[in-house]
A and B are shown apart, each in its own frame.
Chain A
């Protein structure tokens, strides 16, 4: 399919969707809610049942796969905490990392000699569209970009996830154990992202990372202004983009104030009328409440700086900047403000906002104290080799004055990625008590020849390159090339 490959992030659409003037709609809504707020009831009235927003209506049903205590020995271990242990062992018990160190022993544990192998934490991709832009890339499957309004905060990517996307299996073979599935970048607010465990499952819920925060996808720059500008709808410019964000956060601020007042009044024994629910504003309010993390497609230095101020203006944290091609220009600012920057090593050029790529981007960001440099994929292909994506950054940086080691670079696709997703208490490093997400590599994972040999999630083996039993296959690929003939011995049985 050489001819059909397109530059990443290009938005392919005929733009035939009818324009809905959503902005006007929610401004009116906010006004009407404001008047509702004024009719709050008197104290001591009999209270109606309290209206509570269910924040987890599609809960995870994830169960770890069957596991046994496992002791992997004699490997080179990159812990994800900046450490490298040579000739070391790691013990996985009850789905957790029990111990990491030299000369470990354990009763009742299956001991596997991993001499010559390398072990890393499970690889985490903070930016994926697996399941929402699956393969085969046919119209019927194109569920990743709700390109019908510049603000679609009400959509949740989890409702588009096709768990049979063969890309999940391919990513697992590349050591991916957790990943965030984001909506696309056509809209200023693209909707909620969901963090998944990369286990085979018939349902999205069966993959859902337990208690991981939702993400809210925002997008800066060329995509929103191109998509909506061509429809003569705001935004058609970058200033239109920012006006769009600000209008939305204003409405969300009002919405939150109403709900806070409702909760306070109710707690005070009053019987207030609950504000009218709005799915779009529910999501934005989640951000203002600090429950939903911002994941902002934003390439350029000056735009990231504006987005940081925007967060301060409306009192939320501007989160992680994705595809942050120009992060190296403002590495200090990002670190000072606690932003993660998720970057490619070398995707560039397909848009003006991707023109100022440097291969050392992640290394330059990483060099600042308190930084959070992440290497991400946004691709069903490179997600299979995120280790090599990190390797490119490391080696190009080292050719240009850096002195990065494997134990440093691995953090970009493990610990820092976990931090970006708010799951760093559970995963991202090999430390006692952390979830036992482990990848065993046949060689140094920063080699082009590296392949994940075994992958563990919560201590359970989910992939083994050398054992077909641990190689899941998507329903879609089943039976696509069956043998049309039966062998002769089988015919004999029938004719008997």
Chain B
């Protein structure tokens, strides 16, 4: 194919250093034919379409009439009309950081000393039993969000794919997490003030540095003192101010949301609201500020005084208001495979199926710069072929590819079930 060269270079540009350490075998080329392809892109939904990927990257998406006669690939798969979607992208979980919630020695998602520099990706365990189970729900990658420490800044998120391989981490420290809103001890005002002051201080410091730089250039005086190297935390703050890193803000009450929108405007932040129970009360303001909302689709009870407006149709309402919504599982990571059911419940409560799909694919990818989430040329071949409607309980994942590699859909649970449903004259322990 003529643009192979381009794609290859694109891939290396995207993966940079990671590509060097990759242990994955080079994926063969695959053509999936006769699929109903949900591109989550301009092409929309293509029936009887063909998707080709090579070396882990999507190289062609052909609609029914555009399929070349000479199409060839190492593997040809007839989808028989089944639905092909981008792999789903989970978010807001502790995948790979917590194995068993109640076993504290398996919890790496938080640390008392954690601050804005906290990089939990160093603790990510690709061999967690939760990962194969999550794949069964069509999840191919995830934005992992550690809970951090007692600081307003609880640390930074990272992205992973669910290949289960040691090179699963896609991007470290890719967004800063702050926890705002109601507190058991103390006032929410203090959290907002801390955030606001830090931003102000950082902006001032940054201005000083810039000034020093220009001064230095002008005077060309080599004896001018080198500007002090900013600390690690300062560097993160600068990355926030430049919009280089998104700010993930856990927040529910409308007043807190509005305060954040103000900060966004003032400091040009790349803001994502997380939780956002009250977002429906200020949806116009959020839409106007072009801010993405990451929320649960199923939290509908007034679980706190900050979230009295939780509802099953909030995702639909916000989407209708023009807000980009990311559907995220609530809770820990054991059942992130249920993301597709949560999206289905959102559909049952007024969300368009295409919006629901975007809410678990493209919207996440866009916000966190993942080269996934859409079926278009150049994107990672993170794909799922479903037995039927992806959101329906009766449906299962038939095939999954991550970076073009076909993935196993067998988890520890399957092995256990097999052991206890297989007749044997020997004790169960012999059935493996």
Contact = CB atoms under 8 A, between A and B. Distances in A.
A349 B101 contact: yes
Given A4-B304, A135-B301, A448-B345, A399 B396 contact: yes
B341 A388 contact: yes
Interface string A334-368: 00000000000011111110011111100010000
A112 B423 CA distance: 50
A481 B348 CA distance: 25
Interface in A266-301: none
A59 to B, nearest CB: 30
Contacts of A349: 99-101, 129-130, 332, 334
A166 B302 contact: yes
A420 to B, nearest CB: 22
Given A1-B252, A135-B302, A359-B413, A328 B420 contact: yes
Contacts of B335: 346-348
Interface string A143-183: 00000000000000000000000110010000000000000
Contacts of A348: 334-335, 413
A61 interface: no
A477 interface: yes
B431 to A, nearest CB: 12
Given A7-B101, A350-B100, A381 B299 contact: yes
Q: Most chain-A CB neighbours within 10 Å: which of B301, B308, B392?
A: B301
Q: Most chain-A CB neighbours within 10 Å: which of B92, B299, B391, B413?
A: B413
A447 interface: yes
B348 A351 contact: no
Interface in A353-406: 355-360, 364, 380-381, 384-385, 388, 391-392, 395, 399-401
Nearest to B421: A364
B430 interface: no
A7 B130 CA distance: 14
Contacts of A347: 334-335
A358 B413 contact: yes
A401 B147 CA distance: 41
Interface string A1-13: 1111111001000
A451 B304 contact: no
Contacts of B304: 1, 4, 136-138
Contacts of B393: 388, 391-392, 395, 446-448
A222 interface: yes
B303 A135 contact: yes
Contact of B394 (A3, A136, A446): A446
A153 B255 CA distance: 45
Interface residues of B, number: 56
Contacts of A481: 281, 308-309
Interface string B272-295: 001101000100000000000011
Nearest to B310: A1
A476 interface: yes
A352 B102 contact: yes
B371 interface: no
A491 interface: no
Nearest to A380: B301
Contact of A7 (B179, B281, B331, B428): B331
Nearest to B418: A400
B302 to A, nearest CB: 5
Contact of B101 (A135, A329, A351): A351
B300 interface: yes
B89 to A, nearest CB: 16
B413 A357 contact: yes
A3 to B, nearest CB: 5
B306 A1 contact: yes
Interface string B102-126: 1100000000000000000000000
A170 B246 CA distance: 35
Nearest to B415: A358
Contacts of B334: 7, 347-350
Contacts of A356: 416
Interface string A440-472: 000000111111000000000000000000000
A400 B348 contact: no
Contacts of A222: 102
Contacts of B305: 136, 138
A364 B348 contact: no
Contacts of B129: 349
Contacts of B102: 7, 10, 222, 226, 350-352
A10 B101 CA distance: 9
Contacts of A351: 100-103
A44 interface: no
Given A358-B413, A448-B344, A477-B302, A1 B101 contact: no
Nearest to B154: A3
A1 B275 contact: yes
Q: Most chain-B CB neighbours within 10 Å: which of A136, A137, A226, A399?
A: A136
Contacts of A450: 348
Contacts of B100: 349-352, 355
A350 B274 CA distance: 23
B417 interface: yes
B174 interface: no
Interface of B: 92, 99-103, 129-130, 147, 179, 250, 252, 274-275, 277, 281, 294-296, 298-310, 328, 330-332, 334-335, 338, 341, 344-345, 347-348, 391-394, 396, 413-414, 416-417, 420-421, 428
Q: 7 smallest A-B Cβ distances: which pairs?
A: A448-B344, A350-B101, A349-B334, A351-B102, A5-B331, A358-B417, A135-B301
19 contacts: A1-B307, A2-B299, A2-B328, A10-B101, A10-B102, A136-B304, A138-B305, A167-B301, A349-B332, A351-B101, A358-B417, A364-B420, A391-B394, A448-B344, A448-B345, A448-B392, A451-B348, A477-B308, A481-B308
Interface of A: 1-7, 10, 135-138, 166-167, 170, 222, 226, 328-329, 346-352, 355-360, 364, 380-381, 384-385, 388, 391-392, 395, 399-401, 446-451, 476-477, 480-481
